[in-house]
Structure 1
């Protein structure tokens, strides 16, 4: 796994945790930390998580190396 894929995986996990918090507690941690959903930094984080999900989509089609 390349460095880009590892970073993308970490960002995807952060996004999944944030979605879990939204679903269970109606609490958006990214918006709370970075100043609301409309704040520029929040939007950048959301965009990076989305791009990371697309990068990780490629992992589904990578053959196992066993």
Structure 2
């Protein structure tokens, strides 16, 4: 079984935050990140969006690497 590292856990948390934000935008036209850090997206909000994107890319890598290990 694969043991999750700190970066794995942080990536999952960031992607969940991003998914919840997109769900709120789609359902209620409410941007949670924008509401917390200000609209339009200021510097901190933009950093959070970038981190969510990087976490998503990392989780693609994580998924592919664990998938390869499962078949060995």
TM-score, normalised with respect to structure 1:
0.89
Q: Residue 51 of structure 1 aligns with which residue?
A: 54
Aligned equivalents of 1:4 and 1:26: distance in 2? Answer: 31
Aligned equivalents of 1:51 and 1:17: distance in 2? Answer: 17
- What is the CA-CA distance between 1:59 and the residue it aligns to? 2.6
Structure 1 stretches lacking a partner, 5+ long = none
Over aligned residue pairs, what C-alpha RMSD do you find?
1.1
Computing the radius of gyration from Cα coordinates, the structure with the larger value is 2
Paired residues, number: 64
Structure 2 stretches lacking a partner, 5+ long = none
- The answer to whether structure 1 residue 12 and structure 2 residue 18 are counterparts is no
